[in-house]
Amino acid sequence: EPRDAKVIELSRAAAAPAGPAPGMDLLRKRREELRGHILEGRLDAVRRQHSLGKLTARERLALLLDDDSFIELEPYRRHQASGPGLTGNRPHTDGVIAGSGTIEGRRVFVYAQDFTVFGGSLGEAHATKIHKVLDLATANGAPVIGLNDSGGARIQEGVLALDGYGGIFRRQVEASGVIPQISVILGPCAGGAAYSPALADFTFMVRDTARMYLTGPDVVEAVSGHRVTHEELGGADVHGSSSGVATVVHDSEEECLADVRYLVSLLPVNYLEPPPETAPTGAVDDYRPKLARLVPAEPNQPYDMREVFAEIADDGEFFELHEGWARNVLCALARIDGRVTGLVGNQPMVFAGVLDGPASQKAARFVRFCDAFGIPLVSLVDVPGFLPGVEQERSGIIRQGAQLLHAYCEATVPRIQVILRKAYGGAYIVMDSRSIGTDLSLAWPTNQIAVMGAEGAVNVLHRRELAAADDPAALRARLVAEYTEEYLNPQYAAERGLVDDIIDPAETRAALARGLAMLRDKRKPAPARKHGNQPI
């Protein structure tokens, strides 16, 4: 016999007559309608989408998220607007599938624009769903991923569509540095809509189908008389190599979405959480003789800094960002002894690894991302200086170089500098030198920290003697040798505390693993102020 009221109530409920609960018939009908809309209602549009080489929004989400993890928000949402094509035509979802799911078990919030509904165009209802995703992602401290495939502002909804975009931009800016934001472009993304990916931390594009521009080919032709194709104006390769708008470029949606999953596996879910760690890999004792052989001692000989990254990173794996843009500097996320680390490296294979405007901006943005999300920084330095030239000066290399300087100076995450070979002039300072706050500076025995290289220095210091010499070539050779002996050696900087230690190149991975362990608990409060004024 039940003894308390609650149990009696439960046992009565169990004995209630079988049959559908109130409202169930209606719910079933609505769900069927929804399924009809999703599965059959737009078969032609789905076929067209496939014929363009594109997947549907739901197919994309299925590839992006862990199986059966998707929770959909507002599937019944419809526009309340009217106008040509809209009156009496109110498909569910309003052209964007919104919700949340997991990637390798970790929560993310997502939206995927559905080109088969009004060309994925953004009206009030569509925008409000994206606002909700951004709000929930921020409140839950989880990354947000937007899959873009849209004709832009829904023309019939006029200013409400523009207002919807503004609401997205404001939320993205408020979420900046709080949660990672990833934008994936899988179709058109035109006009002001392109500012959403531009505000994200990472932007992925797929060749042939993705395109991003403020004004399309027709407007460009009307204004300038130039006929350009969509691909030439705003294709994945344009943004992956010339403009730097795209962080990662792929040939197919499948590869692209798999890579987004990989990136998410390296990121913290928000700025308060550490990045996901894997088990230590024994890096602290690793000895890599190949490292010494990779870097030629001769300062002008090129080599591929990527090979150095591979020797330093766990399993030789790293996620390179902006692979095709500003290739004279490399930025990558990698694990060292199981911990995610940001690697910045000069690339001697491209323009001798010189720093120019785009390279400074690329590295600056990466340094700021890592700093915002608590990812330690390792800078691998082999830099002959900033690129001299009229064009560079006119395009603002001073301003752009200052962005990198500002980013490093401001960074409070653990910072380690490794000087492999050349580190000359202003570029030495900017590449996370002791003076701008690196925590640990390590140098290879081949390092050459100096105001400039030996040839340049001798030309300035001994100009008159060289002009008067009987045998200027012999004199120059002797002076270069003397300068090299005196200044271009590891001891000079080490004795003056500008490097902490001179290491065997083969010990670099181990030294980095130990250094990162030493700096693991680093905390450095930011100065009290509203915010700095970075030289953007």
- CA 116 to chain centroid: 29
From the list 120, 191, 345, 374, the catalytic residue is 191
Interface residue with ligand HXC, options 49, 56, 93, 121 (CB under 6 A):
121
Number of residues that bind ligand HXC (CB under 6 A): 16
> How far apart (Å, rounded) are the C-alpha atoms in residues 249 and 265?
18
Site string for ligand HXC, 75-104 (x = CB under 6 A): ----------x-------------------
3-state secondary structure of 424: strand
Interface residue with ligand HXC, options 190, 205, 333, 511 (CB under 6 A):
190
Least separation, in Å, of the C-beta of 237 and ligand HXC? 19
From the list 141, 158, 192, 396, the catalytic residue is 192
Q: Please answer whether residues 404 and 363 qualify as being in contact, where contact means their C-beta atoms are separated by less than 8 angstroms.
A: yes
Least separation, in Å, of the C-beta of 129 and ligand HXC? 17
Give 35 or 170: the residue with its C-beta nearer to ligand HXC. Answer: 170
Has 191 been annotated as catalytic?
Answer: yes
Q: Does 191 bind ligand HXC (CB under 6 A)?
A: yes
From the list 153, 423, 427, 511, the catalytic residue is 427
3-state secondary structure of 90: coil
* Phi and psi at residue 503, to the nearest 5°: -120, 155
Where do we find the tokens 């609960």?
Answer: 21
Segment contacting ligand HXC by CB under 6 A, of 151-159, 246-254, 356-364, 448-456: 151-159
Q: Please answer whether residues 481 and 455 qualify as being in contact, where contact means their C-beta atoms are separated by less than 8 angstroms.
A: no
Nearest residue to 509 (alpha-carbon basis) of 306, 331, 276, 291? 291
Residues facing residue 72 across a β-bridge: 99
Segment contacting ligand HXC by CB under 6 A, of 148-156, 306-314, 405-413, 497-505: 148-156
- CA 110 to chain centroid: 17
Segment contacting ligand HXC by CB under 6 A, of 16-24, 32-40, 187-195, 340-348: 187-195
Least separation, in Å, of the C-beta of 30 and ligand HXC? 25
Give 156 or 270: the residue with its C-beta nearer to ligand HXC. Answer: 156
> How far apart (Å, rounded) are the C-alpha atoms in residues 487 and 480?
10
Alpha-carbon separation of residue 203 from 59, 189, 194 (angstroms): 20, 12, 11
Least separation, in Å, of the C-beta of 23 and ligand HXC? 34
> How far apart (Å, rounded) are the C-alpha atoms in residues 444 and 502?
6
Q: Please answer whether residues 322 and 247 qualify as being in contact, where contact means their C-beta atoms are separated by less than 8 angstroms.
A: yes
Interface residue with ligand HXC, options 186, 193, 457, 493 (CB under 6 A):
193
Q: Does 146 bind ligand HXC (CB under 6 A)?
A: no
3-state secondary structure of 143: coil
Q: Please answer whether residues 413 and 268 qualify as being in contact, where contact means their C-beta atoms are separated by less than 8 angstroms.
A: no
Give 119 or 268: the residue with its C-beta nearer to ligand HXC. Answer: 119
Give 117 or 430: the residue with its C-beta nearer to ligand HXC. Answer: 117
Interface residue with ligand HXC, options 62, 63, 136, 162 (CB under 6 A):
162
List the beta strands (DSSP E) in 347-475: 377-383, 415-424, 440-443, 448-450
From the list 324, 426, 437, 456, the catalytic residue is 426
Interface residue with ligand HXC, options 98, 110, 153, 336 (CB under 6 A):
153
Q: Does 188 bind ligand HXC (CB under 6 A)?
A: yes
List the beta strands (DSSP E) in 439-527: 440-443, 448-450, 501-502
Has 427 been annotated as catalytic?
Answer: yes
Interface residue with ligand HXC, options 34, 73, 136, 155 (CB under 6 A):
155
Give 127 or 488: the residue with its C-beta nearer to ligand HXC. Answer: 127
Least separation, in Å, of the C-beta of 127 and ligand HXC? 10
Least separation, in Å, of the C-beta of 243 and ligand HXC? 19
Least separation, in Å, of the C-beta of 88 and ligand HXC? 13
Helix axes 253-266, 57-64, angle to 10 degrees: 40
Specify the DSSP element, H or E, that contains 327: none
Segment contacting ligand HXC by CB under 6 A, of 189-197, 254-262, 374-382, 515-523: 189-197
Give 123 or 453: the residue with its C-beta nearer to ligand HXC. Answer: 123
Least separation, in Å, of the C-beta of 143 and ligand HXC? 23
Which pairs count as long-range contacts for 310-317, CB under 8 Å and 24+ apart, including other chains?
311/508, 311/509, 312/336, 312/343, 312/378, 312/380, 312/508, 312/509, 312/512, 313/343, 314/278, 314/281, 314/283, 314/338, 315/281
Strand 181-185's sheet: what is its strand order?
71-73, 96-103, 106-113, 144-148, 181-185, 202-206, 248-250
Segment contacting ligand HXC by CB under 6 A, of 10-18, 130-138, 152-160, 432-440: 152-160
Q: Please answer whether residues 182 and 146 qualify as being in contact, where contact means their C-beta atoms are separated by less than 8 angstroms.
A: yes
Give 191 or 401: the residue with its C-beta nearer to ligand HXC. Answer: 191
Q: Does 49 bind ligand HXC (CB under 6 A)?
A: no
Q: Mind spelling out the 3-state secondary structure of 270-315?
A: CCCCCCCCCCCCCHHHCCCCHHHHHCCCCCCCCCCHHHHHHHHCHH
Give 107 or 230: the residue with its C-beta nearer to ligand HXC. Answer: 230
Positions marked active-site: 191-192, 426-427
Residues in contact with ligand HXC by the rule CB under 6 A: 85, 118-119, 121, 151-155, 162, 165, 188, 190-193
